[in-house]
A and B are shown apart, each in its own frame.
Chain A
Amino acid sequence: MSNFIFGRYLPGHSWIHQMSPQSKLLLCFYFVVVIFFANNLPSYGVLCVLILVAILSSGISIMYFLKGIRPLIWLIIFTVLLQILFSSGGHVLWHFGPFSVTDESLINGGFIFMRFLLIIMISTVLTLTTTPLAIADGVQTILKPLKKIRFPVDTLALMLSIALRFVPTLMDEMETIMNAQRARGVDFGSGSLKHRVKAAVPLLVPLFTGAINHAENLSTAMEARGFSDSEHRTKYRLYKWQGKDTISWLIFILVGVAVLFIRK
């Protein structure tokens, strides 16, 4: 798990670190949409330059981003290969049975690779520069309009922040239970599929009961500290839209418009 950097936060004080989470989340979403509009080399070039600028301005070493791709590399290669081997159209360069490679499929494969790369990069920039708590707050701000249709936005945000806060706790607990069961002779991660599923039971059951215990104790503690409902509360943290957010949005919108013009 240690080299899985997606979803981890690195503290810092860069431009991107200081942006408000709601604008970062929306910007990330917007960028993903723009990626799907790009369909030729120059438009991908522009997006690559933009993502490179974003990475450099986050002040985080580029090695971190490369590490972020590593766990997903097989998925990317698999998808790209499927695209190359099974698509038709254009000049056929090589073929064998049902497989064929054309110049167009090569180009399409390249684009899919670029899309994966860009999407992973931008979401890694987001998670590396934003605390889970800030992401939860950002989601709450973005979903605020849904309050009008009585969607429980505050409750959802509270659940999200508690869930995020308990991830490391439950991970530790899982580790402890696994080791405890290993000490009693349970063999995890070997043998047939059926055997492995069976071995997961002595891990999952205590983990579930543990989670229920945590929930019960936590709700008692919350009540004792005067929690009544998630709506009638003030907030300790404030994430305001700042000048930095406006400037970043301007840059991204400009690039988006440019991509629309450059594309075929």
Chain B
Amino acid sequence: MKEIIQVNKISYSYPERPLLFNQLSLTVHQGEWLAIIGQNGSGKSTLARLIDGLLVLNQGEIIVDDLMVNDQNIYDIRDRIGMVFQNPEDQFVGATVEDDVAFGLENRLVKREKMHEIVEKSLKNVGMWDFRERIPANLSGGQKQRVAIAGIIALSPKIIILDEATSMLDPRGRKEILKLVRHLKEQNRLTVISITHDIDEAAEADRVIVLNQGKIIDENTPRAIFSHSKRLKEVGLDIPYTAKLIAALVKRGIVAEKSYMDDKELITWIQQLVSAK
């Protein structure tokens, strides 16, 4: 598989603070869903901002789709990456839904007729076309994030970075947004990087990177990562619901052969246990 993002031995620190990243390297493959998890202050969001060129590296290099992240390529790189941020309120630039989706297109000097076409298509794609004349104050958090996603797919990027995009939403809004992104990813063969501390969101990824204090401490499929839940707990992260349930059962003398299963596996296993008795 092609590597769409390469992070080579980067170092970064915020002014007047100790080094956050020291010689960090990682790669993202084209078309994968990568989850980066870690506690607050582990450097997840900083990493996303470095990839998009919103922060400037101290050392090392980042290559996005064969382009080095630097001043000359910055707008080409931002054409390829769409970012959804944490706070739905703060990334809503436009006065209405339509204007917000059009913002990125206006910056890229798209012609007006073409713009109207794309805005309509993008808003229909996320199911917000009926809300096009609403102002942000009259939208829920989940709806605002949908609009943010519409603004990004209007620019047809290759990579979507969700920078804790669901952390301020209720469980239903979170599920809806993730479903939407998954659908868009499959439809347009996108690469998705989701930065999160929601463990259930990470469980849906193809690959998980665990970041702690600027260092990668684990990198594997969600299944493999969640099978060693002890290590997650050590760095202050939660474990998925099913893993908790299995652990609780083990405590009561019901031994499972695996320490992590997804919902379906867990249900079949319990059904087997019950029918065996």
Chain A residues with CB under 8 Å of chain B are 11, 131-133, 136, 161-162, 164-165, 168-169, 172, 213-214, 217-218, 220-228, 232-238
Contact = CB atoms under 8 A, between A and B. Distances in A.
B47 to A, nearest CB: 14
A236 B105 contact: yes
A239 to B, nearest CB: 12
B115 interface: yes
Given A131-B95, A164-B95, A226-B155, 6 more contacts: A131-B96, A136-B95, A165-B92, A165-B95, A214-B90, A221-B91
B112 interface: yes
B237 interface: no
Interface string B89-122: 1111111101100111111111110011001000
A213 B78 CA distance: 23
Nearest to B151: A225
A236 B93 contact: no
Interface stretch (B79-87, B187-195, B244-252, B263-271): B79-87
Nearest to A167: B137
B183 to A, nearest CB: 22
Contacts of A162: 93
Given A168-B137, A224-B52, A224-B54, A236 B102 contact: yes
**Secondary structure of the A contact surface, majority rule:** helix
B135 interface: yes
Nearest to B92: A165
Interface size classification for chain B: 35 or more
Q: What 7 A-B pairs come out closest when comparing CB atoms?
A: A217-B90, A221-B91, A236-B102, A168-B137, A133-B95, A226-B107, A225-B104
Contacts of B89: 169, 214
B222 interface: no
A236 B98 contact: yes
Contacts of A11: 133
A162 B78 CA distance: 22
A218 B90 CA distance: 5
Given A161-B95, A164-B95, A228-B107, A236 B137 contact: no
A172 B93 contact: no
Most chain B C-beta atoms within 10 Å of own C-beta, residue among A133, A168, A227: A227
8 contacts: A164-B95, A169-B136, A218-B91, A221-B93, A224-B78, A225-B107, A233-B106, A236-B106
A223 B74 CA distance: 10
Contacts of B133: 11
B112 A226 contact: no
B75 interface: yes
B36 to A, nearest CB: 17
B215 interface: no
A131 B137 CA distance: 14
B226 to A, nearest CB: 31
